[in-house]
Chains A and B, each alone.
Chain A
Amino acid sequence: KQEVTQIPAALSVPEGENLVLNCSFTDSAIYNLQWFRQDPGKGLTSLLLIQSSQREQTSGRLNASLDKSSGRSTLYIAASQPGDSATYLCAAPLTGANNLFFGTGTRLTVIP
């Protein structure tokens, strides 16, 4: 079974700061790694999808990297804004598995 860990569990930063969220996984036999955003009481919004053969993906102020050999992924958020406040989840489906294994999430608060 895949174990996915996210550090830190919670993060509070002033507006404008650059920040890094970390995700680690125990089994590197993954199809891809996906980063999601979840607002309180809402569903999941996909932010970035990195294929197992890729090293990074970028979308606007977001950049996600993947290092399969070390079982790590990072999500970099540039110039943070109060609207970025949410819980960020990473998920890594194992090859041959029927499930998307989620981390426990990082709850981000960006202070105006």
Chain B
Amino acid sequence: EADIYQTPRYLVIGTGKKITLECSQTMGHDKMYWYQQDPGMELHLIHYSYGVNSTEKGDLSSESTVSRIRTEHFPLTLESARPSHTSQYLCASSESPERGDGYTFGSGTRLTVV
């Protein structure tokens, strides 16, 4: 079944650790996105990609980095986690928004940095 998967679902990690949040989609979508959402707050775009080897920063400044080596895979990395990085991270993909295609979201990763 075509879908978008995020792992881990929950992560509690100590300050200073390096972490990678995984996002994979089986729909063959070129465009992928990472959003950050604090509890009860709006979603903010932190990274996006329009295809392999293409990555851009979003509207909200983030210390995380992303890579897009394969179409289906768009991991997000924090080199040194801090308590301020505690949040929910949501991955999304879309085939062609300019043609009216909608976005599909993953289940999210809830990150807690202690």
| Per-residue B-contact encoding for A36-68, CB less than 8 Å = 1, 0 else | 100001111110010110000000000000000
| Per-residue A-contact encoding for B36-79, CB less than 8 Å = 1, 0 else | 00000011010010100000101100000000000000000000
Are A102 and B97 in touch, CB under 8 angstroms? no
The size bracket of the interface on B is: 20 to 34
| Per-residue B-contact encoding for A88-106, CB less than 8 Å = 1, 0 else | 0101010100111010110
Expressed in whole angstroms, the minimum distance between the Cβ of A4 and any Cβ of chain B is: 9
Which listed residue, A31, A45, A98, touches B48 by the CB 8 Å rule? A98
24 contacts between A and B (CB under 8 A): A31-B99, A32-B102, A34-B102, A36-B105, A41-B108, A41-B110, A42-B108, A43-B6, A43-B105, A44-B90, A44-B92, A44-B105, A46-B103, A46-B105, A49-B102, A91-B103, A95-B98, A98-B45, A98-B56, A99-B48, A100-B45, A100-B103, A102-B42, A102-B43
User: Which A residues lie at the B interface, using CB under 8 A?
Assistant: 31-32, 34, 36, 41-46, 49, 51-52, 89, 91, 93, 95, 98-100, 102, 104-105
Considering the complex of A and B, which 7 residue pairs feature the smallest CB-CB distances, nearest first? A44-B105, A49-B102, A43-B107, A43-B108, A51-B100, A43-B105, A32-B100
